[in-house]
Every structure is written in structure tokens, then in C-alpha cells.
Chains A and B, each alone.
Chain A
Amino acid sequence: MTTTVRADGPAVRKDAPGAARGPRRRTGRIRRAGLPYLLLLPALLLELLVHLVPMVTGIVMSFKELTQFFIRDWGAAPWAGLDNYKVSVDFDAPVGEALLHSFLVTVGFTVLSVGLCWLVGTAAAVLMQDAFRGRGLLRALFLVPYALPVYAAVITWVFMFQHDNGLVNHVLHDQLGLTGKPSFWLIGDNSFVALLTVSVWKGWPFAFLIVMAGLQNIPRELYEAAALDGAGMWQQVRRITLPSLRPVNQVLVLVLFLWTFNDFNTPYVLFGRTAPAAADLVSVHIYQASFGNWNFGTGSAMSVLLLLFLLVVTGAYLALTSRGRRTAA
């Protein structure tokens, strides 16, 4: 099914949209000109209400002294100028220092998690490119972590990481004797490892799914030609599969990066409202800074800074990867 669809795709897309349309009644033409906008209207309204208006509001809020006294009528909150930003980036004071720490933890966590998710997902997809017995079953199994609701999956990990009755300590300490005494996984420095483990467990199937879809679009002839030229399996993977996946990877890595960097659900279910310092991801940090002491002004300033950072990184990433692709071509 997929292959036929693909075969039709490029030929159809070459037609300029609307090129094949014959003359029509005038009312039809007017209606037709307005129709696309009418079709987009619901999506536009919703995006406006839920994303764009709140975003602008958020930026406005970040310039206000929006404490608990003004929640009911936030318009009455006094302007604070750049105070919220000054507090957020004053790295010598506790608030700024904690934010910087949380930011650095998030960067380290994101780089590791995205790298591992991509690596495991790609390896599994490439290894499963050929048909073998049980492949369909295995593919379904591998997608289970992605399909499970976040809270159900993560709460199971919370149970596994328990100090007294968890599986992890039972195996590492009781059964293998690797640690002198049972470790704490959800507090202290180990919490970073716990968070990373859960994040990779939950995230790699998405990479697997996308790479698997990308592999379908590599023409079979490429492999046949390479095989005729005497290229072995590993060479085919290195010379054909991986380069062909480049455009897929460009999008995949960006999406994984944004999702991981902004992830709230995993750390929130894993640690609760206050994450341990070693695993204090920036979303939970801002949530705590805003709702913990009802200081929405500072929370908004931090969110805006986060958005600016993501915009810059995304822009730079797209510029760099697109240039690389053009040079390579």
C-alpha cells in the first residue's frame, strides 16, 4: 500500500495547485478564493486562543509583578520593568543560581537522552530492516513504551526504583551484590541516572518508529546495485542506509530535542513537585517557581528566556544542518 502511494506522490506534487481548474461561475470563484481560509478558520481560532494569545499574555506577564494578590485580576498588577528578568539571570543570587543549575542539568540530560534514543532507535530499525521470524511481534513489543500512558509507565519505574521494595536495588544489591548497601534512586545524585533511564526507555521507540518509516523510502535498487558491486551488509548500512536517513534524522533529532528539553511529565511523575537537585529539569523548576510560591511574574520571565533559548538553538540547528546538506549534495 505504502509503495504505491509513494510512487504516485512526486508526480502529483509537481502539478501547480489549482492549475487544472476550468472556468466557473463568478460566485464560485469568490467562494473558492475564501474557501481555504474558511477551512483553516477553526484551527486558526484554536491556535490563537490556546497558543498565541497565552504566549503574548505570558510575555506581558513577565514584565509585571504578578504575585498571588493579583491572580484574580492580573491586569491590576503593577509593572515591574525588567525586574523579573534581572532576578532570573542574577546568577549570584539564589533564584538565578538555581535556574542556571537547572538549565545546565537540563542541557546535559537532553544531550544524553536524545543521543541514546537516537542511537538505540536507529540500531533497532536497521537491524530489523530485513524480514525474520518474529519481526512483527518484536516491532509491536518495542512500541509498547511509546504507547503506554506516561504516568502509568513512569509510576511503574517509581516502584522499581524504591529503596526498600524496588526491583532495581533487589537485583543490584541483593542478587548481584554490586553495591555495598541499597542505593537511593529518586533522591540525591542517582536521580539523574534514574531520570535518564526512564527517559530513554520511553523515548527510543519514537526514534525507532520514524527511522523505520524512513527506511521504507530507500529505493531497493540502491542495495541491489551495491550488492552487485560486492558491498557487504555492514558497508551497505554505512554507505546507503545511514546517508539516506539524513533528512529524516534532521527532523527527528530536532523533535526529540524539543520534546526532551520541555519534558515535564516524566520528571513530575518520577519525583513529584520538587525534583532533586541532580535531576531538576527546567520545566519542573519553572512550575515550582510559579505555582510553589505563586509568583507568576518570575515564572513567566523564566519561560520567556527558555523560549528564546529554544528559538536560537532551533534556528542555529536548522541553518547548520541545511547548509551541511546543501554542501554534501
Chain B
Amino acid sequence: MSTPRSPMAPPRSFLWTRRILLTLLTGFVLLPVYVMVSSSLKPLADVTGAFRWLPSELTVRPYIDIWSTVPLAKYFVNSLIVAGAATVCSVVIAVFSAYAVSRYDFRGKRVFTVTVLSTQMFPGILFLLPLFLLYVNIGNTTGIALFGSRGGLILTYLTFSLPFSIWMLIGYFDSVPRDLDEAAKVDGCGPLGALFRVVVPAAIPGIVAVAVYAFMTAWGEVLFASVMTNDTTRTLAVGLQGYSTLNDVYWNQIMAASLVVSVPVVAGFLLLQRYLVAGLTAGAVK
């Protein structure tokens, strides 16, 4: 990433401010991460007594036990299915919508973008209750099980990431030169051919960014997961609370499980954060 800044050497006051503030901030950011990692390697006695900075002995026991204390593997698979499917659907739908808005002039364009964006401001709680009833009623009348099923959750989650994804991709598609798709059309591609052969490949960073965002949104959601899942479809967001409903609170296992469920998203995010920043620069921030 380029830095639009003069090459002039910054003054000492700036350097010291930077050093001190960034050190403090690093400590603040990393403290919970340290607690998570160190506690996940402690025996149970270390997490039930007074807090210890270092484990009395290192053990990987919590990492073995987490799979049997609660059916973590099942929750993990459920989360993977739900978040994966929601991501794929959300990205495909967002690509189509953003292409329409970016490349065509049509009646109702502004209404569409404004409406979609404004759904972002609705409190989730506002449509949780009606959606809950709607899914229950659709199930009762048509037999399509949306309530308590993965399908219902996928449908819900993909609309959560959709507005932001469309918004970001419009900006990204706008910055792909129009001459490129015109050239593709001259070469005999239809509009969809131009989209998939020219615009999408040129906008890959934006699409990756949108996919990361959609996956993270679905992977981390708690409110709808807590109402709309049952024993077989429960996701990690709800399942992780299972460690603390028992008589003993197995904090070392909770920390180990938290770490295990975080690794896929954090690793993916850190690998792809370049694209997210680039996508935001081109799309959202204008």
C-alpha cells in the first residue's frame, strides 16, 4: 500500500507519541488474545482459582476435552455449512445486483440502492420477531421447514451481508473501465459474458473482500442463531455457551474452543485483509 505522505523526516514529538500510543494500543488489543491462548493450555485448577499469568503446567488436555464436553464438531460443521452457503449465495447475488446498478440506467435505480442500504440501519430485533413468526407460519402452511433449519438461517444471514456487499461492489465495478466490457461485447459476448469474462476477473479483490465480510458476518452472528436453531442445527455461536451451563465452568476448555472456532476466520481475514482494505478504498470510501 502506498503512503501519500511527504518524505520529510517526522519530528521527535511525533515519533514518541507514535511509539507510546501504539505500544499501549497493542497491549490493549492483545490482552484478551493472550488470556485466550494461555488459559487454553492450563489445567482446570489454574482457571478455577485466582488468575495466573502463566500456567502451572502446560497441557493440551482442554483441546482434547472440548470435543466431548459439548458436540463441538457438530456445531462446527453446522457453522461451516451455514456460513459457507450464505457467503456463496450472497456474493453471487451481490455481483448481479452491483453489475446492474453499475452498468445500466433504469427506472428505480436510486430507490433500489437507498432501500437496500437502509435495511442496514434496522435493528435486528425489529425483524427477529416477525421473521420468527413468518418462518413458523411458512412451515405450518407449506411444509417448507425454515424455522430451526439451516436453510432458514442461510437465507437470513445472506441478506445481512447483502447490502454492504452490493454497496462495496458497485464502487468496485465502477472503477473497472467500461471500455473493457464494451470491447468484450464487440467480440460477441452478451452482457453476462462481459460480466463474467471481464468485469468479475478485474474486480476479484473486491469480490474476495465481500466474501470475507459475508463469511465473518454469518460465522459470528448470535441473535438469530439463538432463536432459530434447534439441537441438530445449532451453530457455534450458541453451542459455545454450552460449556458454562454445567456445574463447573471449564474456562480452559471455553478458551480452547474459542480459539479453535476463531482460527478459520482470523487466518482467512489476515491473509485477505489487503483485499478488504483495497476493496474499501475503491468501493465504500469515496
Contacts and interface: CB of A to CB of B under 8 A. Distances in A.
Interface of A: 1-3, 5-6, 8-9, 12-13, 15-18, 20-21, 32-33, 35-37, 39-40, 42-44, 46-47, 49-55, 57-58, 61, 71-72, 74, 120, 123-124, 127-132, 138-153, 155-157, 159-160, 162, 164-167, 169-170, 174, 201, 205, 209-210, 212-220, 222-224, 226-227, 232-234, 236, 247-248, 251, 255, 258, 261-262, 264-265, 268-269, 282-283, 286-287, 290-291, 296, 299-300, 303-304, 306-307, 310-311, 314
B69 interface: no
A303 B126 contact: yes
Given A39-B100, A40-B100, A43-B116, A50 B127 contact: yes
B4 A218 contact: yes
Chain A CB count within 10 A is highest, among B4, B182, B221, B255, for B4
A217 B4 CA distance: 8
Nearest to B116: A47
Given A15-B178, A264-B223, A310-B123, A152 B166 contact: no
A39 B97 CA distance: 6
Contact of A262 (B123, B240, B269): B123
Contacts of B259: 152
Contacts of A129: 3-5
B232 interface: no
A61 B140 CA distance: 19
Interface residues of B, number: 111
Given A72-B140, A220-B5, A149 B104 contact: no
The interface residues of chain B, by DSSP majority, are classed as: helix
Given A57-B133, A303-B126, A307-B126, A130 B5 contact: yes
Contact of B104 (A5, A18, A234): A18
Interface of B: 1-6, 8, 10-11, 13-14, 17-18, 21-22, 25-26, 28-33, 35-36, 39, 47-51, 93-94, 96-97, 99-101, 103-106, 109, 112, 115-116, 119-131, 133-134, 136-137, 140, 155-156, 158-159, 162, 166, 174-178, 182, 191, 205, 216, 219-223, 226-227, 236-237, 240-241, 251, 254-255, 258-259, 261-262, 265-266, 269-270, 273, 276-278, 280-282, 284-286
B237 A46 contact: no
Contact of A43 (B134, B166, B227): B166
Contacts of A218: 4
A81 to B, nearest CB: 19
Secondary structure at the A interface, as helix, strand, loop or mixed, is helix
Given A20-B178, A210-B285, A248-B285, A310 B127 contact: no
Given A141-B30, A174-B50, 8 more contacts: A12-B177, A47-B159, A51-B119, A149-B236, A151-B240, A269-B241, A283-B125, A299-B129
Given A145-B29, A147-B269, A51 B127 contact: yes
Contacts of A303: 123, 125-126, 129
Contacts of B226: 268
25 contacts: A2-B282, A8-B175, A36-B100, A50-B159, A57-B130, A58-B126, A58-B127, A128-B18, A142-B29, A143-B269, A149-B262, A150-B220, A155-B254, A156-B258, A160-B35, A166-B51, A201-B32, A209-B277, A220-B6, A224-B6, A232-B11, A233-B11, A268-B222, A291-B227, A310-B122
